[in-house]
Structures are given as structure tokens and as C-alpha cells.
Chains A and B, each alone.
Chain A
């Protein structure tokens, strides 16, 4: 763990001491090296449990894929932001990359934490750099509203979580995940316990987001600059899923009945947000709502609490993280050239950017869960386990899959096909940097087809 954490902390001196000319080069190279080292976490040394050299930071087959995704995403964020941050004064550029690096540090410590309170503190700590990125570097006036929604939705959910965790510490004497996994099931039989159950999960459901409490997401994703959107979609949503999976171990047997409304809300959310996607004019808003849709499926999979549900949830989280981030990068390339997110204004891009049309096509196919990509594998596992729980869910999940395919195709056709408007004929060609960015997003997705056991978690 330290062999990744210390280089990440050393990113801060790298950022502030490099000469301005080489700032982006060195930070890109440094963060790619960290990403390469992080692959060593995939070598699990114990058969079924935690890999750690100390009791405070450990990895296990659930947190490892998410950690690798986090470390992989930092260089991608730096590559994506290079163009639009470059004109700013040098210290502001350094501050921006510092925020990204601090987000990375908090996320590594969050996913690697063994104490739930440490996870909670890092969960909250990630809010601060993200808030600063959204409100300082967002492009429209709505970013202030977006930052407010983002901060207060998450805080309102996580204050009950703090109380719930302190109660848990009181009753079990420990909050270490290493110990709690072996504890006796708690006696949960009163209304107070049910409220405690809700308190444990609401923070993560808001973060995922669950359909009823998802309003912060379209605002935050749209108003954030590209690196903010990338990290929000790819990793921060997964913090919610990861937290839920960790807490579920202790919440039985109440979850059998209490999860019911949340599963239904999640499934309904897939259809509703998918339908909203079909009516969007703003490209980033469409991708944001599609994130809500996919994470609704993940939430349902986790709440079902079966091995297939958990495995499907992890696979879908990793695959969605990469693909959603790729879509935001593509949307940003269109935005940087036309300064508009309206899809009607950047139509027919296939005629002027034919190679990029391949990236758009692949990213959209991955989004609509084309086999053999892991998006489909995760979705299928969750749909199967939901069907096992109740056959009626196939109506909702099947319709959801159909709508997902519909809006992914809609996104592709609206941006790539159709008549190319005259005002975008003279746009800059696609940069090598942007092609590299898309390749670094989509090659891991394709490689994961070959070795999905990296993502199955500890249930298999």
C-alpha cells in the first residue's frame, strides 16, 4: 500500500517544484508510473481475505479493482485537462493538479481503509477537492448551484452515517472491517435498529446515486470541468457502491425486508433516468443521467446481497467507470471546439472527425452493454440475480436495457451522423493527446474481457 501511497504524496512536490515548461509532462509521467505500480495490488497473496502489511490499510478483492481504477484515472484526468487549463497562470495550473492529486490520495486511503471511520473521513474528504474543482473551474454560472447541491446532498446523507457508525462502535467495540466480518449477527429488532439500518446506507445511496436522491448528479457532472466529470463518474460514484458493500455485511437480517423499497426505487430509476436521457439536448447531461441509470442497476445488485449480485455490481462499476469517463472526455473534445454542449450544434461529426467517430462508436457500444465487454457481463449477472429474487423485475430491467440501448444509439447518431452544420466545418483536427486519452480509456475495457476474474470480488 505504501509503495503507491508515498509516490502519490510525492506528486505534490513534483507539481510545485517542476519548471512550468515541463509541469504537465512530469505529472503525466509520474502518475502513469503510479498507475503501473498500482497493478501490483492485483496479486492477491491470501486465498480469500485481506492483503496487508499492517492493520490500518489493506486491500482485498473488492477494493483492489476500484483502487486500480482510481490510480489509472489520475493520468487520464491530467491528459484531459491539459488543453483547457494551459492558458491559466502557472500557479493556478499547479493548484488544479494539486486538487486532482489530493483527490487521488484521499481515494486511495478510502478504498484501502480497514477502519470504517477512516473510510468515512476519507469519503467526506473527497468532497472538498471536488467542490473546489466544480465551483472554481466550472464554466457556467450554474456551477455554484451545482456545488451546493453536490455538497449538501452528500452531507445530509452522511451525517446520519456518522451517528450510525458511532452507535456501531458503541455496541460492538470495534469498527475494523477485519474484525467485524467475523462478528456475530447483531440483534436488530426494533424501530431504532431500522433507523440505524437506514442511517448506515443512506449516505451511500445518495452517493451512488439512488433515483430519488440523484438530483445533485446531473448538476455536478455537467458543471464540472472535464477532470471533475471524469473523477465524479468513474470513481466517486463507486465510493457509494463500495461503502454499501462493506456495510451490508453487518446489516443482516434486517436487509431482507428493508431493502425492498430501495431495490424498487433503483429499478424504477433505471427506466426513468433512461427515458430522461432520450429527451436531453445537453450532451453532458445525457451522459450524467446514463450514469444514474447504470448505478441504479448496481445499487439493486448490491441490495440483493447474493454472490452474483455483488460480483455483477463490482464488474459493472469498473466497466462503467472507464466507459463513462471516456464519454465525458469525448463530450469535452466537442465542447472545447464548439464551446457548447448542445448536441444539435455539434452534429455530423463523423464527416469531419472520422477516426474520432470510431472512439464515439466504441464508447457508445460499451455504454449500451455490448457483449463481450464487461458492461454486459455485469448487467447480466445483476439482471439474473434480480430475476432469481423476483421474476417481475425482468420487466423493469429488460425495459431498462432496451432504453439504455436506445439512448446510447441516440447519442451516437446525434453527434456523429446527420448533416454537418456549416459553423463547425473549420474545427481543429483531433489531437494526438485526445486519441491517446481515448485509447487509454477503452483498451483496459477491452483487455478486461480476457481476464474478468480480476473484477469478480471475493464472492467467487
Chain B
């Protein structure tokens, strides 16, 4: 049922929107009783200039501030410092310092050691002509088995 409603709703609301609100559409969501009266009344007051849903006029922010970084629309000082801090903490601290920390982490589980040790042993045994590995893990003469034929 909800899906049926949502199929009709955009058309219905578009009709209402265009007649009732005219060119003052700031909200993406159509007026719906389910979402309450939260649509136009407590958003920022609209200025006479045509606005899109971001609340800024259709003029690009790059016109007022050619160095707009995307962080803060009206204050270029805040915009610039936001950019600097985001880059510093994001790249210089998190990626560079964090990456260095990760690079120098100890060899967990001795994985890299075991690879190096295996390569070293293989090289050594091939040079000496020994087999790479013996079949028996333990010396068979040290294994004491119970003799068969007893209880």
C-alpha cells in the first residue's frame, strides 16, 4: 500500500507544489502529511533570488570566491582553514604518519621471518647437497613402541 502511495505521490505533490509554492521550492521532498509540516516553515527563510536546495543562489560560489574549496560557502577564511586542516589531518597525519607506523609494525606471527628463514635454509642445503627436508620429524630410533603380542 505504501508503494502504491509512493507511486502516486510525486505526481500529486508536484501539482500541489507548483501551484501553492510557486518558485519558492527549496525542499527536495514533496509536501507530505506523513513528514509533517516540517517542510518549508523551519528551513532557512528564502530570499527573493531563486534558490536551489542548497540554500545558495544559482550563482556559483566561485564567482564570489574564486578559491572556493567546497567547505564553507560564505566565509572564505573558514573555507580555507577547513581545507588546510582536513588535508593536514587526513593526509599528513593519518596517511603519512599512520602509514609509516603501519610499515614499521613488528612481524606478527613471525611470517616474514619464517619466509626468510626458509629461503636461507634452502640456499644452505642446496649448497651443501643435503636434501631440503628429511621425511621423519623425529629420529625413529627414539620412538619407543609397546611390543606386540603382550596383553
Which residue numbers of A lie inside 8 Å of B, CB to CB?
A: 21-22, 24-25, 28-29, 32-33, 35-36, 39-40, 42-44, 47-48, 72, 75, 79, 82-84, 86-89, 138-145, 148, 336, 339, 428-429, 431-434, 436, 439-440, 443-444, 447, 451, 453-454, 460
Whether A83 and B54, one on each chain, are in contact in the complex, defined by CB atoms closer than 8 angstroms, is: yes
Find A453's partner among B30, B56, B108 (CB 8 Å cutoff).
B108
Residue of B nearest to A35 (CB): B94
Whether B86 and A32, one on each chain, are in contact in the complex, defined by CB atoms closer than 8 angstroms, is: yes
Whether A28 and B93, one on each chain, are in contact in the complex, defined by CB atoms closer than 8 angstroms, is: no
The number of residue pairs between A and B whose CB atoms lie closer than 8 Å in the complex comes to 142
Separation of A447 and B103 alpha carbons in the complex (Å): 10
Find A24's partner among B68, B72, B95 (CB 8 Å cutoff).
B72
Determine, out of B1-9, B117-125, B128-136, the stretch whose residues face the partner at the interface.
B1-9
Whether A141 and B32, one on each chain, are in contact in the complex, defined by CB atoms closer than 8 angstroms, is: yes
Whether A79 and B86, one on each chain, are in contact in the complex, defined by CB atoms closer than 8 angstroms, is: yes
Residues of A within 8 A of B13 (CB): 141
Distance from B103 Cβ to chain A, minimum over Cβ atoms (Å): 7
Knowing A36-B93, A433-B86 touch, does A47 contact B109 (C-beta < 8 A)?
yes
Distance from A281 Cβ to chain B, minimum over Cβ atoms (Å): 16
Distance from A444 Cβ to chain B, minimum over Cβ atoms (Å): 8
| Contact residues, B91-146 vs A (CB, 8 A) | 91, 93-95, 97-99, 101-103, 105-106, 108-109, 111
- Which 4 pairs, one residue from A and one from B, show the smallest C-beta to C-beta distance? A431-B70, A87-B55, A433-B70, A32-B89
Separation of A29 and B81 alpha carbons in the complex (Å): 11
B49 interface hit (Cβ, 8 Å): no
Separation of A145 and B81 alpha carbons in the complex (Å): 40
Residues of B within 8 A of A36 (CB): 89, 93-94, 97-98
B44 interface hit (Cβ, 8 Å): yes
Whether B52 and A339, one on each chain, are in contact in the complex, defined by CB atoms closer than 8 angstroms, is: yes
Q: Looking at A21, A44, A87, A451, which has the most chain B CB atoms within 10 Å of its CB? A: A87
Residue of A nearest to B73 (CB): A86
Residue of B nearest to A443 (CB): B95
The 0/1 profile, CB within 8 Å of A marked 1, for residues 41-82 of chain B is: 011100000001111100011100000111111010010011
Residue of A nearest to B26 (CB): A87
Whether B28 and A29, one on each chain, are in contact in the complex, defined by CB atoms closer than 8 angstroms, is: no
Residue of B nearest to A426 (CB): B60
Find A140's partner among B28, B60, B87, B99 (CB 8 Å cutoff).
B28
Whether A141 and B81, one on each chain, are in contact in the complex, defined by CB atoms closer than 8 angstroms, is: no
Knowing A84-B54, A87-B55 touch, does A432 contact B69 (C-beta < 8 A)?
yes
Residue of A nearest to B83 (CB): A432
Knowing A21-B78, A42-B102 touch, does A141 contact B9 (C-beta < 8 A)?
yes
Whether A141 and B30, one on each chain, are in contact in the complex, defined by CB atoms closer than 8 angstroms, is: yes
Separation of A431 and B71 alpha carbons in the complex (Å): 8
Separation of A113 and B13 alpha carbons in the complex (Å): 46
Distance from A205 Cβ to chain B, minimum over Cβ atoms (Å): 24
Distance from B57 Cβ to chain A, minimum over Cβ atoms (Å): 11
Residues of B within 8 A of A82 (CB): 70-71
Whether B99 and A25, one on each chain, are in contact in the complex, defined by CB atoms closer than 8 angstroms, is: no
Residues of B within 8 A of A28 (CB): 82, 85-86, 89
Whether B68 and A86, one on each chain, are in contact in the complex, defined by CB atoms closer than 8 angstroms, is: no
B37 interface hit (Cβ, 8 Å): no
Residue of B nearest to A149 (CB): B2
Distance from A284 Cβ to chain B, minimum over Cβ atoms (Å): 14
Separation of A82 and B69 alpha carbons in the complex (Å): 12
Whether B78 and A451, one on each chain, are in contact in the complex, defined by CB atoms closer than 8 angstroms, is: no
Residues of B within 8 A of A431 (CB): 68-71
Knowing A25-B81, A79-B86, A141-B10 touch, does A39 contact B98 (C-beta < 8 A)?
yes
Whether B43 and A88, one on each chain, are in contact in the complex, defined by CB atoms closer than 8 angstroms, is: yes
Separation of A193 and B87 alpha carbons in the complex (Å): 54
Whether B109 and A48, one on each chain, are in contact in the complex, defined by CB atoms closer than 8 angstroms, is: yes
Separation of A453 and B108 alpha carbons in the complex (Å): 9
Whether A44 and B108, one on each chain, are in contact in the complex, defined by CB atoms closer than 8 angstroms, is: yes
